[in-house]
Amino acid sequence: MRQPDAVARGYDPAVVPSPRTVPGECRLPPGQHLQRAMPVQHYGPVPACDPATWDLRVSGATRSGREHAWDLAGFLALPQREIIADFHCVTKFTILGITWTGVLAAELLAAAPPAGDATHVMVLADFGYGANLPLDVFCADDTLLATRREDRELKPEQGYPVRLVVPSRYGWKSVKWVRAIEYLTSDRRGFWEERGYHNNADPWKEQRYSYTEQPGEGPPL
Q: Is the pLDDT of residue 43 over 90?
A: no
Q: What is the pLDDT of residues 146-179, one digit of tens each?
A: 999 999 999 999 999 999 999 999 999 999 999 9
Choice among 29-43, 84-98, 177-191 with the minimum mean pLDDT: 29-43
What is the amino acid identity at position 53? T
Q: Where are the domains of the chain?
A: 49-188
Please name which of 168, 213, 163, 167 lies closest in space to residue 189, comparing C-alpha atoms.
213
CATH number for the domain whose boundaries are 49-188: 3.90.420.10
Q: Is the pLDDT of residue 18 over 50?
A: no
Residues paired with residue 144 on neighbouring β-strands, in sequence order: 104, 165
Q: What is the pLDDT of residues 53-83, one digit of tens each?
A: 999 999 999 999 999 999 999 999 999 999 9
pTM metric for this prediction: 0.87
